Amino acid sequence: MSKSVKRVPLYKQIEQYIFDQMRLHDWKAHHKLPSETELASLFDVSRLTVKNALLNLMDKGLVYRIQGKGSYISDMSGEPVLYEASPADNKEKFIALILPLAKTIRSLHLINGIEEELSKHGYHLLLCKTYNSKEKEKQVLQDVLRLNVAGIIIYPVEGVTYSEDILRLTLNPYPLVIVDRYLRGIETNCVFSANSRGAYEAISHLIQLGHTKVGFVSTESKDTSSIEDRLAGYEQALADFKLPVEHRMRRTQFQLDQVNLMISEGRIDDSVKSEIQSFIKQNPDMTAIFAVNSALGLSVIETASDMGIRVPEDLSVCFFDDYEFSTFSRIAPTCVLQQEHLVGQEAVKLILSFIENPDQERRRVEIPTKLVIRKSTAPMGVHAP
Residue-wise DSSP of 64-83:
EEETTTEEEEPPTTSPPP--
Average pLDDT, the chain: 85
Residue 297 located in a structural domain: yes
Q: What is the pLDDT of residue 363?
A: 93
The verdict on 72 and 216 lying in the same domain is no
Residue 185 located in a structural domain: no
pLDDT in tens, 26-66: 677 778 888 888 888 888 888 878 887 888 787 766 777 76
- The last residue of a domain, from among 81, 108, 132: 81
pLDDT in tens, 113-152: 999 999 999 999 999 988 888 888 888 888 888 888 899 9
Residue 27 located in a structural domain: yes
For residue 350, give every residue at least 6 positions away whose Cβ sits within 8 Å of its Cβ, in sequence order, or none.
177, 189, 191, 363, 365
Tally of structural domains, the chain: 2
Q: What is the pLDDT of residue 382?
A: 58
CA distance 319 to 300: 10
User: What CATH number is attached to the domain comprising 24?
Assistant: 1.10.10.10
Residue 1 located in a structural domain: yes
The verdict on 199 and 333 lying in the same domain is yes
Cα 67 to its chain centre, rounded Å, is: 21
CA distance 99 to 33: 23
- The last residue of a domain, from among 81, 105, 120: 81
Helix residue ranges, H only, the chain: 2-6, 10-24, 36-43, 47-59, 88-91, 105-120, 134-146, 164-171, 195-208, 225-240, 256-259, 261-264, 270-282, 294-306, 340-356
Q: What is the pLDDT of residue 224?
A: 80
pTM of the full predicted structure? 0.74
Q: What is the pLDDT of residue 8?
A: 60
Q: What is the pLDDT of residue 89?
A: 40
CA distance 222 to 239: 24
Which one is predicted more confidently, 206 or 146?
A: 206
- The last residue of a domain, from among 81, 114, 145: 81
| Res 184 pLDDT > 80 | no
User: What CATH number is attached to the domain comprising 224?
Assistant: 3.40.50.2300
Largest CA distance in the chain: 71
81 pLDDT tier (thresholds 50, 70, 90): very low
Residue 278 located in a structural domain: yes
Residue 332 contacts residue 326 (beta carbons within 8 Å)? yes
Residue-wise DSSP of 152-215:
EEE-PPTT-TT-HHHHHHHHTT--EEEES---TTS---EEEE-HHHHHHHHHHHHHHTT---EE
Residue 188 located in a structural domain: no
3-state secondary structure string, 303-316? HHHHCCCCCCCCCE
Residue 132 located in a structural domain: no
Cα 187 to its chain centre, rounded Å, is: 24
Residue 247 contacts residue 274 (beta carbons within 8 Å)? no
Residue 163 located in a structural domain: no
For residue 79, give every residue at least 6 positions away whose Cβ sits within 8 Å of its Cβ, in sequence order, or none.
61
The mean per-residue pLDDT over the stretch 305-309 comes to 96
Q: Which domain holds residue 55?
A: 1-81
The verdict on 239 and 376 lying in the same domain is yes
Q: Residue 315, Cβ neighbours under 10 Å: how many?
A: 24
For residue 4, give every residue at least 6 positions away whose Cβ sits within 8 Å of its Cβ, in sequence order, or none.
none
Residue 232 contacts residue 268 (beta carbons within 8 Å)? no
pLDDT in tens, 218-245: 998 766 888 999 999 999 999 999 999 9
CA-to-CA dists, residue 262 to 186, 292, 302, angstroms: 34, 14, 10
Percent of the chain whose pLDDT exceeds 90:
49
| Res 357 pLDDT > 60 | yes
| Res 174 pLDDT > 80 | yes
| Res 340 pLDDT > 90 | yes
| Res 77 pLDDT > 50 | no
In angstroms, how far is the first alpha carbon of the chain from the final one?
30
